[in-house]
Amino acid sequence: MRFSSVLLLTLVTSTAFAQLKPAPITYAAPVFADTARLTKIRRALPVLERMYKEYAAAVHAPGFVYGVMVDGQLLATGGIGYTNLEQKIPATPQSAFRIASMSKSFTAMAILKLRDAGKLRLDDPVAQYIPGFKKQHFPTTDAPDVTIRHLLTHAAGLPEDNPWGDRQLAISDAQLLAFINNGLSYSNDPGITYEYSNLGFVTLGYIIQKVSGQPYQQYINENILKPLGMTHTYWEYAKVPAAQLAHGYRWLNEQWVEQPMLHDGAGGAMGGLITTMEDFGKYMAFHQSAWPPSSAPEKGPVKRSSVREMQHPWNLNTLNAQYKYPSGRACPQVTAYGYGMRWSKDCDNRVMVGHSGGLPGFGSNWSIMPDYGIGVACFANVTYAPTSRIMIRMLDTLTTLADLKPRQLRPSSVLNERKAQLIKLLPSWTGAEASGIFAENFFLDYFTTSLRKEATTLFERAGKIVRVGELIPENGLRGSFLLEGEKETLEVSFTLTPDQIPRIQEYHLTEKKK
């Protein structure tokens, strides 16, 4: 059976199939922000606020602040308790908390900015910048050199160094170099596996200084914090206005014991930043802005592609087949490390990226779901507040309560064009071989008589086609669409080639039962 001529006229382009010409492949903006979606998110916020308050009490946090990011905007923030128990100073989104290892992504971003400027390469041996690395003795003699990329991804072979590393914030450059020159102990050869190393990021901080000619703090301040408008972010706690500074505490013997603040130094590259929720929201928004890829002008301190590179799973960490969300829902999960960022993907194909932070007196975390345009963050002033599960719980709760779906991409121009051309050929396939829209492999892998027989049979089962669905892209060169019949619905899926003029290399017509 054929489509009606009216339907064909609305769907078919005027391109002469046998005379295809190259044309730029264009991509429309993604479907994402909308009023209904935002309304559902706002309705879920009181639930999240209640969960945050319950969590703060459970971990004995004297003070706690949180933020919810939606589409690059800090949609909701709040504070609970006090940043200074003695003076009863309330915790607010303007309070400055030490965020510990959340600092690592700033160090990684600075490395990529220097890489993008041609000042270094990620596969450079670290010994090129710190000669002491030439003297290292690895577990085996066939070990490769430690590279910058190894340090970024916790693959340098250095041992996991919490909590020892947490006490190294104030070391000097001279102490760092003397420590390295004396020889390091390695748990693995470089490039073998993931093992979290604070020392690795301290080393990256020194490389930033060596390459840029500036202390890494100054380089990050001028090249990342200032461009993002993060004017209330600090390295040295003594420079934070007293009324803003969150003091750190430990819950010990059923009471809070204030912890001494750690001064800034060479070790700050792994965990020294002090910031407010309002300031950190600007950093989260920049990370969200990297998705989806677009042709919009670059406005951030580094290229959006470099941000996506930071968020990529470069070093596999774990596969947890028994993972359960805090709600009890079973959902296997795989985790990895990017460049200064943690990455995970669950059984529902949901990706989360971010990082936790913990130091004596503090615990923090942030996480975004790039495909959903949402993110959460929290700061607490109690030692090693276990924040990872509450972040996961927040995102899982928000997506569930607001019934959020991943960003729906719009099809590229060439996918829409091929869709219209396929519709004209179905179900008879008349003139298909002369149309010019199929790749050279197509009629060697698919046969016109078989295609015609299959399509004719399925169209007869479907009955009159009453609606052609929108093309749902998997990417710029692969997609599918529905043909809704009076009796059944059919699905057409196809994949295009990498040619200058993309042609159909794969095609499937399947039946979708109503």
- The whole model's pTM is what? 0.91
Distance CA 457, CA 453 (A): 6
Asked whether the predicted pLDDT for residue 2 surpasses 60, the reply is: no
> Looking at residues 101-107, what average pLDDT do you find?
98
Q: Round to whole Å and give the CA distance between 266 and 262.
A: 12
Phi and psi at 307, nearest 5°, equal -65, -45
**What is the CA 345 to chain-centroid distance, rounded?**
10
Q: Quick one: pLDDT at residue 13?
A: 33
Among 494, 467, 495, 496, which residue's Cα sits nearest to residue 482? 467
* CA 110 from centroid of its chain's CA atoms: 17
pLDDT mean over 194-213:
98
Match 């050929």 to its residue by tokens.
Answer: 425
- Please report which confidence band the pLDDT of residue 327 belongs to, taking 50, 70 and 90 as the band edges: confident
Token match 């087949």: residue? 321
Q: For residue 144, what pLDDT is reported?
A: 98
pLDDT at 26: 52
Entry field: residues in the chain = 514
| pLDDT score, position 17 | 34
Closest of 316, 265, 319 to residue 154, by C-alpha:
316
Model confidence over 53-89: pLDDT tens digits?
999 999 999 999 999 999 999 999 999 999 999 999 9
Cα four-point dihedral sign 435, 438, 441, 442? negative
Reading the block at residue 154, the tokens are: 């916790």
**The token pair that represents 84 in the structure block:** 């200074």
Tell me the H-state helices in 300-447.
Answer: 304-310, 388-401, 413-425, 442-445
> Can you tell me whether residue 116 is helix, strand or coil?
helix
Max alpha carbon distance in the chain (Å)? 84
Helix residue ranges per DSSP H, 100-225: 104-116, 148-152, 173-181, 198-212, 216-220
> Mutual orientation of helices 198-212 and 104-116 as an angle, nearest 10°?
40
Is the backbone of residue 13 left (phi > 0), alpha (psi -120 to 50) or beta? beta
Residue listed under structure tokens 């989806």: 292
Q: Is the distance from CB of 68 to CB of 80 less than 8 angstroms?
A: no
Contacts with 202 (C-beta within 8 Å, 6 or more apart), sequence order: 165, 168, 171, 176, 266, 267, 269, 270
| CB-based contact 204:120 (threshold 8 Å) | no
Q: What average pLDDT score do residues 424-446 get?
A: 97
With a cut of 80, say whether residue 31 has pLDDT above it: no
Q: What is the pLDDT of residue 23?
A: 52
Q: What is the pLDDT of residue 476?
A: 94
- Are the CB atoms for 253 and 159 separated by under 8 Å? no
The mean-pLDDT minimum among 55-69, 94-108, 295-309, 500-514 falls in 500-514
Q: What is the pLDDT of residues 262-284, one digit of tens each?
A: 999 999 999 999 999 999 999 99
- Look at residue 1 in the predicted model and tell me its pLDDT: 38
- Please give the Cα distance from 152 to 130 (Å, whole number): 16
Across the range 433-447, mean pLDDT stands at 97
Calpha distance 69→286 (Å, rounded)? 11
Using a 10 angstrom Cβ sphere, with 0-12 exposed, 13-18 middle and 19 or more buried, the burial of residue 49 is middle
Strands 274-275 and 97-98: antiparallel
pLDDT at 32 (0 to 100): 52
Place of tokens 């130094």: 265
Helix 35-58 vs helix 388-401: crossing angle, to nearest 10: 150
What gap in Å lies between CA 95 and CA 362, rounded to an integer?
A: 13
Handedness of CA 67, 249, 242, 354 (dihedral sign): negative
What's CA 242's distance to the chain center, in Å? 34
Is the dihedral angle over the CA atoms 10, 16, 17, 21 positive or is it negative?
Answer: negative
The two beta strands, 73-84 and 89-90, are antiparallel
